[in-house]
Structure 1
Amino acid sequence: MSDQWRKRWQEGRIGFHLQQTHPALQRHWGSLGVTDRTKVLVPLCGKSLDMRWLADQGHPVLGIEFAPEAIEQFLAQRSTPVSRYRQAGFTISRQGNVELWCGDFFHLHIQHAAEIGAFYDRASLIALPPATRQRYAFHLAQLVPPGAKGLLISLAHDEGDAGPPYSVTADELDNLFSANFALTFLEEGSPDERGYIESVWALERRGPRL
């Protein structure tokens, strides 16, 4: 799976990348009530401009991305100095308020995420095949503390398991997350030219860490 995405970045087949901040992030982030300076985890972050927006709101951002090409393209967007170091098997690049960890999301452990208090998932869940989505939901629950809030933007379409992007329905989201998170449906977009429909959800981590 990681090799497939690495090849997409190398070949520039990144139609999923938005050239602007996602409007739903701008509309709904404030309603979550995430306190100022809370560190935000962004799994499978690519070179998303959403991380710049979150940082501009005063949040430290920790993005996880497997493809170094994506990280280098993100850093090149600005001339701000970059510091680089290695930790826990990850190559880490820090630019301003954004910290990018290059490596496998599933290798990130609680001790590395001790300061994280919120999260943002746009298009990471829909990049994963069905068997891996369950693992993703469980791992995310291990990384964020009780009470942590996040925004999740998902995608559904009529092509079944064809993907990526894979179709993730509301029922599947409930099955994946309801054991560890309270889910609140926020909005659903109109179908795009491919028939893809985005949905936006607020999540809050329940109870103690497992």
Structure 2
Amino acid sequence: MTIELYTWNTPNGRKISVALEEMGLPYKVFPVNIGKGEQMAPEFLAISPNNKIPAIVDPDGPGGKRVSVFESGAILLYLGEKTGKFLPVPLIDRIPVYEWLMWQMGGFGPMPGQVHHFIALENETDRAYGLKRFMAETRRLYGVLDRRLATNEFVAGPLSVADFAILGWAWRHPRHKVELKDFPNVERWYNALMARPAVKRGMEAKLD
């Protein structure tokens, strides 16, 4: 059955379209225009209590029952469990997937997101302060990722949902003013992922 993807053209939205394509799951996009406040609509609130995209509805959830899932990290874990893909079975092998997924959710997303916010400010004083603070932290996080990828093809060993999560934000590196050539291992990883046919489809899917 077709998964319903409620989303918009954002890094968090792209995480899910890429994962769905890589997992070979049929899905239909239901755009939620966050610029117009559609994420505040009661019908969206019913499946995403935090009024944030993305969210999914799976008509064929556990036990064949319809289920909704919100928060991009939770969606990735759910889809990995559902398909048995990109989420290792042994707990010992899942640990790095959990670690790097949480690393993305807690840092490599919120910090670049702050850069996006401050870049758009007209007040030069506020803009300069925000960019000095959050661009430094964003570059530090790129450095953490670069060191990890120096000894690993993918962030958690084999390709996993953690890579899809991080890719969604690395995709926006021009917007948060980061040159991937400054982080050669990230650049190698990024180019390899973006060359995958399913990732291309996920990145090109119309989400708005």
What interval of TM-score do these two structures reach, taking the shorter chain for normalisation?
A: 0.3 to 0.5
Greater Rg by CA: 2
Of Structure 1 and Structure 2, the greater helix share is in: 2
TM-score by length of 2: 0.32
Of Structure 1 and Structure 2, the greater strand share is in: 1
TM-score by length of 1: 0.32
Higher relative contact order, structure no. (Cα contacts within 8 Å, ≥ 6 residues apart): 2
